[in-house]
Structure 1
Amino acid sequence: MINGNRMHLSSHSSHITTDSAINLPDYQKIPSIFNRIIKGNEGGGTMQSGVCLRVLLLAAFTVTITAQKPAPEVFTLTVPNGPILTRLNASVTLPCELSPLFNVEPLEVRWYRSENSNSPALLYKDHKIQEAPVDPRYRGRVSLTGGLERGNVSLTLERVTLEDRGEYVCHVSNERWYEKANVYLSMNVTGSAPVLSVASGGGGQVNVTCSSEGWSPQPKLTWRNKEGTEIKNEQVLFTSDSQGLLSVSSWLLYSPSDSDWLSCTISLSEEEKRESRVLPHKPGAWKEAFIVTLVLSLLLLCALSTVVCILLKHRDQIKLEQSKSETKKLFKVTENSQEKQPVKDGINLQDWRQVKGFQEWGMQTAKETTTQKKCVPKGTFILTYLFII
């Protein structure tokens, strides 16, 4: 068995000891040590030879041989062929790996935007990440997370913004050689819900338009009917705003139906999509609906005017009856007083004439009231005119 740096071999009655130390990395000493063991057991018979063979096999399979590869003079970088997709405010890793793999801690690693090499997003030099010169927009948001000792110099970017989209350069160098490779970062941004509008297209068709804005990268626009069948259409237009976000619009000539709706779907993937629907009507249908609505409104107005007129007429009749009743009572009271009291100095006769005149005035007022024109709502004449047209 192996105990520390000393090896003891035991088999029944034989005991073999060697003071030769085995240094695990120094694997070249194993053959010489084994020769010593064999010489010390010459004449020991078959048993000792079998023990030696076991020791040889044990040493071959248990001693770990480690050899550190020297840094090559020439190397290359391996990066993805396509863009790296991410989302707003997420974390993303831009892969970059050396080939062949070796420890790159002594080397210099620089990540920068393709248009700004003098102000890198991250600079690793002299076995540490440098604080300057770096782009202040990336300070506190970037790190090397791949494992430099394994030849991985991938960049991790935290809290991704719209400005982070674009091309990045992975640059690794030493005193004799350098290599660089480009990685493109793309961001999925879901835009607004599609806005649908309908206009007359001529020939009994309608022109349906679908538009949306704020997408990245370029989305896919799909038209479908109510059965879910895709309607092929190549009339799609893309425009870009100041932030690089895309607006998309499409139009479709369609034969309308009273129950067949259309849907417009704009998507980046099955999980990232927006959809809107519309029920296109035949050309001129809105005019018919407007006329029907107008006629119903006029009918309602006419009915309300009639009710108001009837109420006002009824109120006037009540006032007229009250006026007649009060006049008759006053006349009777005055007449009775005139019969009971004598006329003195012509005063009572004058009062009697005033009461008589008041009575005649009340009767004339009642007559004028009863001969007033009938209340006819104006809405009736308007409605009659529309029906004649």
Structure 2
Amino acid sequence: METGPDSLFLTLLLLLHSSHSVSERFEVLGPSDSIVAVAGEDIILPCYLKPNISAEDMTVDWLKLDFLDGRVFRYQNHRIIRDDQIPSYRRRTSLFEEELWRGNTSLKLTRVQGTDEGHYKCFIKAKRWYDDFTIQVLIKAVGSKPVVSIEGHREGGMCLLCESEGWHPEPELIHRDFKGFYRVKQHVIVQETDTNRFTCRVQQSRINEKMETEIHLPSELFDYATPLRMAFTVLCCLGAIIGIGLSLAVYWICNKKGNGEII
């Protein structure tokens, strides 16, 4: 077997290539539990390389799996690429660029909103190796104190409207705004009670939060709550007017006859 300079050089190249390939391999790691974020606050989506090698020469992609081609953030060739970023994430995402040298590829997301909830993939690619990690983000938001307004008489009772907005996750959904928060809007018809106190309560059991408002209705509001009662009152008034009119007409006719006038 020949062991000349050419074969020795070839062996040395293979060893160098093998060493370079092994040194470039890494794992992408992150938290095992979901990240729960409060709407309006800033959060960090942890992601890092093991071993803690530099990611400065790598491509760092943050993707939202709930979107088709949903790129949240990209770092490539030592600069941030914003061309195909999801519009709602513009000016709200950043890396800790000063820590890329030690493998920290975590993403900072500011002013979180309801639509940020979902699964995110941290995808890291080197020249000959890549790996990724997926994180779930949950958003919670406690809505406003319910507002109760009186809609008027309806179906034999008093109609109340209860409204509360800014909730996440979804309570009893009626409307969702462009930031992904939910608004509860419900009508209820109430009857007169001993206290006439009624409570509007909005509750989200997943985040163990609730808001409520109590309203007191004066008894006078229920006096004309029944449409039939109103109609009966109107008919009674009309009947009384007609009766008085007929009585006056009969009295006038009789009076004329008594005076000998011929009609």
User: Are the structure 2 counterparts of residues 102 and 249 from structure 1 closer, same or farther at C-alpha, using a change threshold of 3 Å?
Assistant: same
SS at 1:121 equivalent: strand
Larger Rg, first or second structure (1 or 2): 1
Structure ranking higher in strand proportion: 2
The residue correspondences of 1:203-282 to structure 2 (distance < 5 A) are: 211-218=162-169, 237-241=172-176, 243=178, 244-249=180-185, 256-259=192-195, 261-266=197-202, 274-280=211-217
Q: Aligned-pair distance for 1:163?
A: 5.5
User: Are the structure 2 counterparts of residues 259 and 136 from structure 1 closer, same or farther at C-alpha, using a change threshold of 3 Å?
Assistant: closer
Aligned-residue sequence identity (percent) comes to 20
C-alpha separation in 2, matches of 1:284 and 1:95: 58
C-alpha separation in 2, matches of 1:168 and 1:131: 18
Paired residues in the alignment total 198
> Could you tell me which residue of structure 2 aligns to residue 168 of structure 1?
120
C-alpha separation in 1, matches of 2:96 and 2:106: 6
Q: Are the equivalent residues in 2 in contact too, given 1:143–1:155 (CA < 8 A)? A: yes
SS at 2:224 equivalent: helix
User: Are the structure 2 counterparts of residues 142 and 121 from structure 1 closer, same or farther at C-alpha, using a change threshold of 3 Å?
Assistant: same
Question: How high is the TM-score relative to the length of structure 2?
Answer: 0.54
What letter matches 1:131 in structure 2?
Answer: I
Structure with more relative contact order (C-alpha pairs < 8 Å, separation 6 or more):
2
Q: Are the equivalent residues in 2 in contact too, given 1:121–1:135 (CA < 8 A)? A: yes
Q: Aligned-pair distance for 1:111?
A: 1.0
The residue correspondences of 1:91-240 to structure 2 (distance < 5 A) are: 91-98=42-49, 100-105=50-55, 106-114=57-65, 115-117=67-69, 120-126=71-77, 128-135=78-85, 137=87, 138-145=89-96, 147-160=99-112, 164-174=116-126, 175-184=128-137, 186=139, 188=141, 190-191=143-144, 193-197=146-150, 211-218=162-169, 237-240=172-175
C-alpha RMSD over aligned residues: 4.4
SS at 1:102 equivalent: coil
Structure ranking higher in helix proportion: 1
What letter matches 1:263 in structure 2?
Answer: T
C-alpha separation in 1, matches of 2:218 and 2:114: 41
What letter matches 2:52 in structure 1?
Answer: F
Q: Are the equivalent residues in 2 in contact too, given 1:71–1:103 (CA < 8 A)? A: no
User: Are the structure 2 counterparts of residues 160 and 133 from structure 1 closer, same or farther at C-alpha, using a change threshold of 3 Å?
Assistant: same
SS at 2:75 equivalent: strand
Which structure 1 residue ranges, 5 or more long, are not aligned?
1-69, 221-236, 289-381
